[in-house]
Amino acid sequence: MARTPASKIKSPWEPAEARKRERSVKREAVLNTAVLFFNEKGFHATSLDDVAESLNVTKPTIYHYFSNKDEILFECTRQGLETIRHAVAEVASRNGNAHERLKALLHDYALFMTQDFGMCVIRTADYELSEESRKQFRALKHEIDLLVRGLVAEGMAEGSIAKGDPRLVTFTITGAMNWIARWYRPGGEISAEDAVKACVDTLMSGLTPRGSDDHG
């Protein structure tokens, strides 16, 4: 019987790129499951046994992807903040007056607050993170604040947004957006889109200069 050439032997191991993709998928599954527990039970009341059991794996399996529960929490908050930062930066860079862009920005921001990772960002207290993670957490939040504040200031300068202190206005509107993550309940009487529209319309109405036409 002819022997199979070594170069033709099929390895039971996947190529490196495939293994990398598989690891990424499983790592994301851990985050997607953990964030649900964090939001429902809180960080301290959630155990990795909860996450492992939900995924039908053992707790040691989780440690193949994350060092500990703290790292999982930070990754959930980091992913949430990165998503917000990207959305804010993308909308802020569009064409159109600042009022129109701010309204679109707040819509995307608020909608994300009705989703799992957005909720996790707001429901996570600084002290629940390690010192190094806390620094990154605060840095990302500060970057988002500056992007929103810059757009608010631009609108005030061009006259599409009512005059005021850009810093205080930004704290007010982002605070309102963030609070959605506290009171919104998926599957409740009001849909995410309806909740977002009502909140954004209310805020933008207050930011429209008196006597001006609707800015969209």
pLDDT digits (tens, 9 = 90+) for 17-57: 766 678 889 999 999 999 999 999 999 999 999 999 999 99
Contact 162, 207 (CB under 8 A): yes
pLDDT exceeds 90 at position 106: yes
Question: Is 188 part of a structural domain of the chain?
Answer: yes
Q: Specify the number of domains making up the chain.
A: 2
Q: Is residue 61 domain-shared with residue 80, that is, in the same domain?
A: no
Rounded-to-10 torsion of CA 213, 166, 152, 86 = -150
Q: Is residue 107 domain-shared with residue 182, that is, in the same domain?
A: yes
185 by DSSP, 3-state: which? coil
* Both structure tokens of 173: 């509107």
Question: Is 111 part of a structural domain of the chain?
Answer: yes
Question: Is 38 part of a structural domain of the chain?
Answer: yes
Q: Is residue 92 domain-shared with residue 190, that is, in the same domain?
A: yes
Question: Is 12 part of a structural domain of the chain?
Answer: no
Q: CATH number for the domain including 51? A: 1.10.10.60
* Both structure tokens of 96: 């159109």
Question: Is 177 part of a structural domain of the chain?
Answer: yes
Nearest Cα neighbor of 28 from 48, 55, 46, 49 is: 55
Contact 136, 185 (CB under 8 A): no
Nearest Cα neighbor of 68 from 149, 128, 14, 143 is: 128
- DSSP type of residue 96: S
How confident is the prediction for the chain on average, in pLDDT?
89
Q: CATH number for the domain including 119? A: 1.10.357.10
- What are the pLDDT digits (tens) for 172-188? 999 999 999 999 988 88
Q: What is the pTM of this model?
A: 0.81
- What are the pLDDT digits (tens) for 68-103? 999 999 999 999 999 999 999 999 899 889 999 999
Question: Is 25 part of a structural domain of the chain?
Answer: yes
Task: Kindly give, in sequence order, each residue whose CB lies less than 8 Å from that of residue 158, ignoring residues fewer than 6 positions away.
Answer: 97, 98
Q: Which residues constitute the domain of residue 89?
A: 75-207
97: left (phi over 0), alpha (psi -120 to 50) or beta: beta
Q: Among residues 43, 66, 89, which one ends one of the domains?
A: 66
* Both structure tokens of 25: 């998928």
